[in-house]
Amino acid sequence: MRTITIKPQALTHNLNQVKKRAPTAKILAMVKANAYGHGVKAVLPALQQADGIGVATLIEALEARDLGWNKMIGLIEGVFNQAEWQQAIDNDLSCVIHHYPQLEWALDNVPAIANQARQVWLKYNTGMNRLGFNEQTILDAAQRLHDAGYRMILTTHFANADDVDHPLNTIQKQRFADMLARLRDTVSQDVQGSLCNSAGLVNFPDSHYDWVRPGIMLYGSSPIKNTSANELNLQPAMDFSAQIMALQTIKVGDAIGYGSHWIAQQETRTALVSIGYGDGYPRILDKNAYVSVIDESSKQSYPCPVRGRVAMDMIVIDISSTPTTLALNSKVILWGSVPHVDEVANHAGTIGYELLCRLSTRPVRTQTSSLE
Amino acid sequence: MRTITIKPQALTHNLNQVKKRAPTAKILAMVKANAYGHGVKAVLPALQQADGIGVATLIEALEARDLGWNKMIGLIEGVFNQAEWQQAIDNDLSCVIHHYPQLEWALDNVPAIANQARQVWLKYNTGMNRLGFNEQTILDAAQRLHDAGYRMILTTHFANADDVDHPLNTIQKQRFADMLARLRDTVSQDVQGSLCNSAGLVNFPDSHYDWVRPGIMLYGSSPIKNTSANELNLQPAMDFSAQIMALQTIKVGDAIGYGSHWIAQQETRTALVSIGYGDGYPRILDKNAYVSVIDESSKQSYPCPVRGRVAMDMIVIDISSTPTTLALNSKVILWGSVPHVDEVANHAGTIGYELLCRLSTRPVRTQTSSLE
C-alpha cells in the first residue's frame, strides 16, 4: 500500500524545539499548503501549543476554523477582494495587508469588536521584493490603520535566511528594526514585530521580536543550507512508504524502464516498488537516489538505489544488498528517517518543501498513535 | 482563485482521435493516478465511449465502481495478495497477472462465473524489464490459466514508443507478435493482444491488436518526442489558472524572491501571482518559463516570464508586455492552451504527465459545461 504516515509526536517535538529557540516570542505555526502536504487535520492536534497558525488562502483558513481551531489564524497573503475581507471579519481572521487595495478594504470596513480581525499583519518589503509596502508608503499605511482602530504586527520576510552569511540578511534586519522603531515612535508604542521564518529563528536569535513564524522545521526538515535536520534536533513528521510488488533478476545488458537508460553491467537482483510520480515521488532523480527496504524477518533496513526512470505508478530498485530471502510486499521507505526527505530532495535537485507539498491524493493517509 | 478547470469536450475529442487512429481496437482508457491528476469523477462522463478503463490500484478501481463505471476495469499492476484477489473478483475487475504469486492466487480461486474477472491481462516482458513473465515462463502460465477457465489478453509495454526510431521498438513488437502467435497456436485461438499505449498507437498503427491503452493523449498532451499535441490534433483537457494578487514596479538592481538570483537590469513592472509549488506548479523552471495573463478589458492574452524562484504560495512575473491598465485579480494561465502543459514541462526539465499528476489539493476544481 502506498502510505503517508504522519507522526504527531514528531510535530510536537519540533514545536518544542521552536519554543526552546524562541522562548519569548509567540509562535505562528505555518500550516499553509495543507500543512506542507502533511494534512491540516492530521497536524492541528499536535500543534495545540502554538499561539496561532498561518495559512495562504481563505479556503485554508475556513478549513482550520471548521476543524475547531479557535486561536489566531493569520492569512499571510491577506484577502483578494472586498467580499473576502468581510469573510475574514466574519471568521475572525488576522490578515496580512501588503498593498493599498487591501488597506482600503480594511479602512472601509472596520471590525466592530476588537477581536483578531482587528489585528493586522502590516507587510514591509525589506528586500524580498514580492509583497509589501515600501519605506515611502508604510508610515502612511500604519498611521491610517492605527487611526481606524487596528492593532498591528509589522512583518517582513527574509529572502536568504537559510544562508546565514548572505549580505542581504543584515540589510533586511536593519531595515526592519529601523522601521519598527519609527512606527513605535510615531504611530503607536503597541506595534508588534515579526521577522523570522524557520531559518530566521534558527540563524538570528537576536531578531525574534513578538512573533516567530516557523514552517518547515515543524515538519522536521532543515531550513538551513548545509545543516541537517538531525543536527538541529528535528524529527521528520512524515513517513512515506510503499511495497515491493515483484522480484526479478536482470541479466547483463538488459535495460530498465522508459528510455532504456539504465543498463545492467552485471546480473542484478531488482524489485518493483508500487510508487511513482503519480503518488508524488519525484520523476527526476540523480543516480545516487535510494530508498530503504525493510526485511521483515530480520527487521533490518537496507539502502537500495533507484534504477531507471521513475514512472507514474512504479519504480525499480536494486536489492543486491538485501537478503535473498527478501519477501514480496516488503515495506519500502521513500522518505522518513532514512532517507530523510531533504536527502531525497537533494537527489531531485530541489528542496524537501516541494516534495512534501506535491504529494498526490493517491497514497493512503494514516498517523501513528500518540504513544508511538 | 487557484483553479483547475477540466474540459469534458476536450476529453471526448481526444477519445475520438484515438478511435480514428485505432478504429478496429477496443479502448482501455487509462484513468490511473486520479486520471493523470484531472480527477476520475470529472473525466468518467466524458469517456463513456471507451470500452474499459485502466487503474493502478484496487482503491482506484473501487472508486470507479462507486462512480458507476460498469464496463471493464483493468487493474494494471494486478493485486498484491490473496485477499485483494478476492476483492477483484467481488468487484468484477480484470487483473494483470505479471508474476507467479498472482498466478497462484488466480488458480486457487477462479471466479465462478465467466465475467470480467475471468478475463486476465497476462503480462509479457518484451524489453521494459519491469513487470512480466519471460519467454521461458509465459507459455506455462498461459496454459495453466487457460486450463482453469480464464480468458486472456496478452499484454506488454513499450519502453521507447515515444521515440519512433528507437531500435528496441522493433524488437519488442517482434517478440510480442511471435509470442501471441505461439499462444494462439498452442494454448487457445481466443487469446487477445494489447501492445500499445498512446505513443505506440500513434507510432505503430500496424500493432493495435485487440486493445489499445491510451493515457496521456486523452488528456491532450503529446506522447511523442518532438511532436506537439496540436500537431496530433489533441486538445488540453485542463486549464490551470490563478490571479494577480499585487502589482509592483521593481527598481534597477533589486532582486526578486528567495535566493535573490533574479536581479532587475531595468525598471520592471512585475506582478505577484497566487500560485506556487504548494499548488503543484513546479519549483524548478528555466529562464524561459512563462505564463499567460488575460487583460479583461481587451480580452487579450499576454505571455509573461516567471522571474525569481517559484515559492510555495506565489510567483513573480514580468508584466512589461501588458497594458499599464492591467487590473488586480487578472486571470493568469499557468497551463492550458497557451502555454501548453508540455511546454511548461519542457521548461521544468520533465514531462507533462508529471506536472498533471503532482497537482495538490489546494486549487479549487471545476469543469466547463458540455456546451463550452
Q: Is A32 annotated as catalytic?
A: yes
Confidence of residue A70 (pLDDT cuts 50, 70, 90): very high
Question: Does the annotation place A130 within a ligand binding site?
Answer: yes
* pLDDT for the residue numbered A268: 96
3-state class (DSSP) for residue B367: strand
Q: How confident is the model at residue B370 (pLDDT cuts 50, 70, 90)?
A: low
**pLDDT reported for residue B372:** 46
- The verdict on a CB contact (< 8 Å) between B33 and A349 is no
* B101 domain-assigned: yes
Q: Are residues A289 and A192 in the same domain?
A: no
Is position A361 within any domain? yes
A103-149 tens-digit pLDDT: 999 999 999 988 999 999 999 999 989 899 999 999 999 999 999 99
Whether residue B109 is found in the same domain as residue B18:
yes
Q: For residue A245, what are the domain limits?
A: 238-367
- Do B49 and B155 sit in the same domain of this protein? yes
By C-alpha distance, the chain B residue nearest A35 is: B278
Whether the pLDDT of residue B44 is over 90: the answer is yes
- B2 domain-assigned: no
Residue A225 lies in a domain: no
Mean pLDDT computed over B9-16: 98
Please indicate, yes or no, whether residues B186 and B255 belong to a single structural domain of this protein. Answer: no
- Boundary-marking domain end, from B184, B219, B254: B219
pLDDT tens digits, one per residue of A75-108: 999 999 999 999 999 999 999 999 999 999 999 9
Q: Is the pLDDT of residue B50 over 50?
A: yes
Asked if A76's CB is within 8 angstroms of B313's CB, the reply is yes
Same domain, A306 and A171: no
Q: Is B4's pLDDT higher than 70?
A: yes
Q: Which residues of A touch B131 (CB under 8 A)?
A: 246, 272, 314
CA distance A144 to chain B (A): 20
Within a domain: A231: no
Determine, for residues A313 and B77 on separate chains, whether the beta-carbon distance falls below 8 Å.
yes
Confidence of residue B261 (pLDDT cuts 50, 70, 90): confident
Q: Which positions 103-142 of A are in contact with B (Cβ < 8 Å)?
A: 127-131
Asked if residue A165 belongs to a domain, the reply is yes
Domain identity same for B168 and B310? no
Rounded mean pLDDT of chain B?
A: 96
What percent of chain A shows pLDDT beyond 70?
A: 99
Q: Which residue of A has its CA nearest to B97?
A: A246
pLDDT at A260 over 60: yes
Domain boundary among B219, B252, B282: B219
Among candidate residues B310, B260, B314, B313, the one with its CA nearest the CA of residue B286: B310
Assess contact for A237 and A31: CB atoms under 8 A.
Answer: no
User: Looking at the predicted structure, is the pLDDT value of residue B241 above 70?
Assistant: yes
Residues B280 and B190 in one domain: no
A31 and A85 in a common domain: yes
Residues A149 and A267 in one domain: no
- pLDDT (tens digit per residue) in A292-317: 999 999 999 999 999 999 999 999 99
Mean pLDDT over B248-266 rounds to 91
Alpha helix (H) residue ranges in chain B? 8-21, 32-36, 40-43, 58-66, 82-90, 100-108, 138-147, 167-186, 198-203, 341-347, 352-357
Degrees, nearest 5: CA angle B216-B217-B219: 70
ipTM for the complex shown: 0.96
Quick one: average pLDDT of A196-210?
Answer: 97
Q: Evaluate if residue A261 carries a pLDDT over 90.
A: no
DSSP classification of residue B152: E
**Do the Cβ atoms of A122 and A152 come closer than 8 Å?**
yes
What is the residue-averaged pLDDT of chain A?
96
Same structural domain, A205 and A245: no
Cβ pair B330, B244 in contact under 8 A? yes
Lowest mean pLDDT of B55-69, B227-241, B257-271, name the range: B257-271
Q: What is the pLDDT of residue B152?
A: 98
Judged against a pLDDT cut of 50, whether residue A28 lies above it is answered with yes
A34 in B contact zone (CB under 8 Å): yes
In 3-state terms, what secondary structure has residue B235?
A: coil
Q: Is the pLDDT of residue A23 over 60?
A: yes
Residue of A nearest to B330 (CA): A80
Please write the tens of the pLDDT for every residue from A99-110: 999 999 999 999
B32 assigned to active site: yes
A295 lies within 8 A of chain B by CB: no
B59 in A contact zone (CB under 8 Å): yes
Residues B158 and B28 reside in one and the same domain: yes
pLDDT of residue B96: 98
Count Cβ neighbours within 10 Å for each residue of A203-231 and write b for 16 or more, e otherwise.
bbeebbbbbbbbbbbbbbbbbbeebebee
Q: Which residues contact A185 (CB under 8 A, 6 or more apart)?
A: none
Q: Which residues between 61 and 90 in chain A have a beta carbon less than 8 angstroms from any beta carbon of chain B? A: 76-77, 80-81
In a domain, B228, yes or no: no
CATH of the domain at B99: 3.20.20.10
Q: What is the DSSP annotation of A221-280?
A: ---STT--TTTTT----EEEEEEEEEEEEEPTT-EESGGG-EE-SS-EEEEEES--TTTT
> Domain of B275: which CATH number?
2.40.37.10
Judged against a pLDDT cut of 60, whether residue A327 lies above it is answered with yes
Are residues B213 and B255 located together in one domain of the fold?
Answer: no
pLDDT (tens digit, 9 = 90+) per residue, B283-305?
Answer: 999 999 999 999 999 999 999 99
Q: Single out the residue in A219, A246, A266 at which a domain terminates.
A: A219
pLDDT at A372 over 60: no
> How is residue A112 written as a grid cell?
466592530
Q: Is the pLDDT of residue B371 over 70?
A: no
Model confidence at B369, pLDDT cuts 50, 70, 90, reads confident
Which residue among the candidates B26, B32, B123, B173 is catalytic per the annotation? Answer: B32
The answer to whether residue B1 sits within a structural domain is: no
Domain count, chain B: 2
- Tell me the CA distances in angstroms from B303 to B197, B270, B319, one per residue in order: 33, 13, 8
Residues of A in contact with B59 (CB under 8 A): 362, 364
